[in-house]
Structure 1
């Protein structure tokens, strides 16, 4: 279905054309890519675009360039659904596992991102979900490899790094710290080194700084708390009560991370990694500044993964709820985006409010597991110190 639809839907014109340009540049000169292009993407996904560019350079394949740009994310959709199915089979029935995979595969929020828009959030989500699953299985080395790849694909990969730190603090083993450090540095070196010849020693740091400072707004079409207040595309230096939107956003990141850490500490179990990752992305997207409309995308898959481990049906409702808001937000920007950001209308207001309510509901679910000792499916109960 995705492959049939993808060639007939041109995708987001700006993003598709940008990816095509980067794919051609990478195919012509991979190691000199950042010298000949204006890409604001970190290096990891450039390898994927390099392969796409090489395929598109074959005359018989050039007619399918748009499909080739979308294909990695389309394949990632299927791979993520299969991964969710395989993990679920260890903890829930075959029927439920199949329903989880089917829900993700045919989810309009997932479909519109890869097949219609042509964005790469599906590929990023596959890496994150696989990394969090491996972390839950105490395979910290491979989890670190994937998390490093996620950070080197999109800066928002940093949002998930605290979960790795929580697990390191939980296990309290020097060997684990060593494995994580070596795995992370080796992965980063292998990905970054080919692009570094002839570059300024600080080139990667400057790339991230430029990317992170590219949109200095309270919200960048993200239907979240700041958009709810009417601050979409408002400068993040503007004041909201005592502080600027940027300062409020940083404070909220600290609060969300501390809440995740509290939950993980109470849980005393690596299986809480998935719900901690869900809290991180849902909380940061909803209450931080400079968020884009697509940054919440991994929440749908992470909620399903968290359900598999905790077997709390409320997490299925959260996956459905986040899928709804992700779809509405993506649809609104893809089809109705205007210069200066999405208008403050009923759709923006209600979707932003729903995201805030979903975050509150997620906090309630976590609270029940970590304070009221809710028992679900044999997962070790949280203990109150």
Structure 2
């Protein structure tokens, strides 16, 4: 009898966990975020009114076509508009959880830890707030990145770059992890021609809009238009939050900040590359490097939104299971992201963004030092 109970305990725990995750999202379904009212709702109506071909020949959204194609599918669902839009992202919450499970299972093949990791991702506050409450779609591109990393761990480089191409076709923020692929290329893990998968996938995803009559130049310029913001920090906990009155100098500090960020990122890239010259990019190093770049790049670049640390939120959960002694890393990363959401979603700052940026900076220094000690024998 006791053995039967022990056998059933795990599946019951998993089923209850999934049920509670769904119930949590169900209670958030009816909230209309400012982004929903200003953008998502209008895009949905535009597609619904004109139909697929009638809508996609116009530049009615600043999002890449692939997500808008998903939105078009949502217009066909027998659901109210708000729920149909949110359902897309909520489905990918499940996909992301499954991929977190697979990534952790690469390290713990005969353990319940991958299950705990998957449930941790489902209940991470920034995950369910982003999808079920806010109605945003960051989990979709992040899922493609996680799938790509899983393929890298399995040695399936073509699949990895195709999936990365899908991620890039959804969100420009996918470039935060591009240095990881560049490091693998420098280690001759795959040829540079395989990077052609990325633009090829993007081109395939814009074909429906091309056939609908939208100009190619317009479709290729979507991301450049997205980069035309007006503030150095769009509620992101970045280093710009430490400079009083910094927004008055946007026209000077925006280009200068990009140059400084590029230098710092290149320096970090070079340091990691030097450390990896005589050692392989093992699973631990891949996860650690991926997390580091997805924290460093949005921390340094100007015009970053608070949501741009979403990929780091998910990767930090995977990281904690690869480095259990660093259990505090996802706690800090996710809490910093969570509190940076508050000013936009709730109109109040529980903790000042400058303080959140400081916490993130300290964590970045810790992660950088730890990685360097692992890959550089002279640092140990």
Question: Structure 2-normalised TM-score?
Answer: 0.83
Contact 1:131 1:146 in 2 (8 A): yes
Matched residue of 1:9: which SS? coil
Structure 1 counterpart of 2:243: 229
3-state DSSP of counterpart to 2:310: coil
Work out whether residues 25 and 128 of structure 2, in 8 Å CA contact, stay in contact via their aligned partners in 1: no
Residue 79 of structure 1 is matched in structure 2 by 95
Q: Work out the CA distance in 1 between the residues paired with 2:55 and 2:260.
A: 36
CA offsets per residue over residues 46-92 of structure 1, 9 Å max, x none?
1110111121xx4xx2xx32122111211212221222122222312
Q: Which residue of 2 aligns with 1:381?
A: none
In 2, distance between residues paired with 1:257 and 1:75? 36
1:98 aligns with 2:115: yes
Match of 2:6? Answer: none
**Residues 60-79 of structure 1: pairs in structure 2 closer than 5 A:** 61=79, 64-79=80-95
- Structure 1 CA distance, aligned partners of 2:192 and 2:160? 13
Please tell me whether the aligned partners of residues 220 and 290 of structure 1 are also in contact (alpha carbons under 8 angstroms).
Answer: yes
The aligned counterpart of 1:350 is 355
Which whole-Å deviations, capped at 9, do the CAs of 1:236-267 have from their partners, x for residues lacking one?
324xxxxx243223322342244135325523
Paired residue for 2:297?
284
User: Which residue of the partner structure matches residue 132 of structure 2?
Assistant: 115
- The aligned residue for residue 144 of structure 2 is 127
Task: Give the whole-Å Cα distance in 1 for the aligned partners of 2:164 and 2:203.
Answer: 14
Q: TM-score, normalised by structure 1?
A: 0.82
Q: 1:30 to 1:185 in 2, by over 3 A?
A: same
Asked if residue 295 in structure 1 is aligned to residue 304 in structure 2, the reply is no
Structure 1 residues 209-237: Cα deviation after superposition (integer angstroms, max 9, x where no partner): 21111x13211111211012235655532
CA distance in 2, matches of 1:179, 1:216: 36
Structure 1 residues 25, 230: closer, same or farther in 2, change over 3 A? Answer: same
8 Å Cα contact 1:218-1:246 kept in structure 2:
no
Partners of 1:228 and 1:349 within 8 A in 2: yes
Residues 38 and 325 of structure 1, relative CA distance in 2, 3 Å threshold? same
- CA spacing shift, 1:160–1:113, aligned 2, 3 Å: same
Deviation string, structure 1 residues 325-358 (Cα, Å, up to 9, x no partner): 0110012321117xxxx8xx95222212111112
Q: Which has the higher helix share?
A: 2
Partner residue, 2:46: 25
Gaps (5+ residues) in structure 1?
239-243, 375-383
